[in-house]
């Protein structure tokens, strides 16, 4: 399973209109493409950072849509009124759901850098050590780990039932992140907290 993420630094006042466009126009178009298994959108209203992620059954299916998706991506970037979209492609290494998210869910995203030669070990640390501990955090809903094997970059997304739950477990999550990054030999590059604006991913369990 693979994923393409598009990051746009939007004008905060344009976010609601952009969310509506993604929900009403972009999602129906993308999800009808061959091999697509869903789409999600994360929004940080304070910074304007918006991340739209589409999931695909194979790398070939994802790459086959490059030209078709580009004008859609550019239109959303213009509507959100921010910077040029940043596009990243990932392998979905781990995905685990305790339960489906509901309205009001929030996501904590952690970007990391790992030596490419150690990436499989880092995936095992996430799957066998980090994930069981993350499940114990207040409001845990689901977690995923995306990796780029060529660069050694990785991104973990953990979804919680509510903003209150995410805020309440912030210190515990930071301690877990510190321990896990040390065990995995990973450098934490950035951490962001988002509202889950759209959640229509149909990726099967990958643990």
Return the CATH number at 143: 3.30.70.100
Question: What's the DSSP call for residue 150?
Answer: T
Residue 198 has pLDDT above 80, yes or no: yes
HSE of 11 in the Cβ direction (CA atoms, 13 Å)?
Answer: 8
- Within 8 A by CB and 6+ apart from 24, the residues are none
* Closest to 155 measured CA to CA, from 72, 34, 42: 42
* Closest to 148 measured CA to CA, from 38, 62, 68, 50: 62
| pLDDT score of 202 | 72
108 close to 171: Cβ distance less than 8 angstroms: no
Average pLDDT, the chain: 92
Six token digits for residue 151: 């660069």
Q: Taking the chain, what is the end-to-end CA distance rounded to the nearest angstrom?
A: 12
In which band, very low, low, confident or very high, does the pLDDT at 82 lie, cut at 50, 70 and 90? Answer: low
DSSP lists the bridge partners of residue 106 as 160, 195
Asked if the structure places residue 70 within a domain, the reply is yes
| pLDDT score of 77 | 86
Asked if the structure places residue 63 within a domain, the reply is yes
Asked if the structure places residue 207 within a domain, the reply is no
| pLDDT score of 207 | 64
pTM attached to this predicted model: 0.93
Asked if the structure places residue 133 within a domain, the reply is yes
What would the mean pLDDT of 49-74 be, rounded to a whole number?
Answer: 92
Residue 154 region by backbone torsions, left for phi larger than 0, else alpha for psi between -120 and 50, else beta: beta
Tens digits of residue pLDDT in 117-141: 899 999 999 999 999 999 999 999 9
Asked if the structure places residue 86 within a domain, the reply is yes
Asked if the structure places residue 11 within a domain, the reply is yes
In the chain, the number of structural domains is 1
In which band, very low, low, confident or very high, does the pLDDT at 205 lie, cut at 50, 70 and 90? Answer: low
In which band, very low, low, confident or very high, does the pLDDT at 80 lie, cut at 50, 70 and 90? Answer: confident
């Amino acid at each position: 399973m693979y994923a393409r993420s598009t990051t746009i630094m939007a004008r905060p006042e344009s976010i609601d209109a952009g969310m509506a466009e993604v929900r009403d126009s972009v999602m129906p178009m993308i999800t009808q493409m061959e091999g697509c298994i869903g789409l999600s959108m994360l929004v940080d209203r304070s910074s304007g950072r918006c991340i739209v992620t589409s999931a695909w059954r194979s790398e070939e299916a994802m790459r086959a849509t490059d030209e078709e998706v580009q004008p859609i991506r550019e239109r959303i970037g213009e509507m959100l009124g921010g910077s040029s979209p940043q596009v990243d492609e990932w392998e979905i290494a781990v995905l685990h759901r305790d339960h489906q998210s509901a309205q009001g869910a929030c996501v904590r995203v952690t970007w990391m850098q790992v030596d490419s030669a150690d990436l499989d070990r880092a995936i095992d640390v996430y799957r066998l050590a980090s994930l069981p501990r993350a499940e114990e955090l207040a409001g845990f809903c689901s977690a995923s780990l995306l990796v780029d094997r060529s660069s050694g970059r990785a991104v973990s997304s953990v979804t919680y039932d509510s903003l209150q739950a995410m805020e309440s477990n912030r210190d515990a999550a930071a301690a877990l992140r510190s321990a896990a990054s040390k065990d995995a030999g990973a450098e934490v590059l950035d951490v962001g907290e988002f509202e889950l604006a759209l959640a229509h991913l149909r990726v099967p369990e990958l643990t």
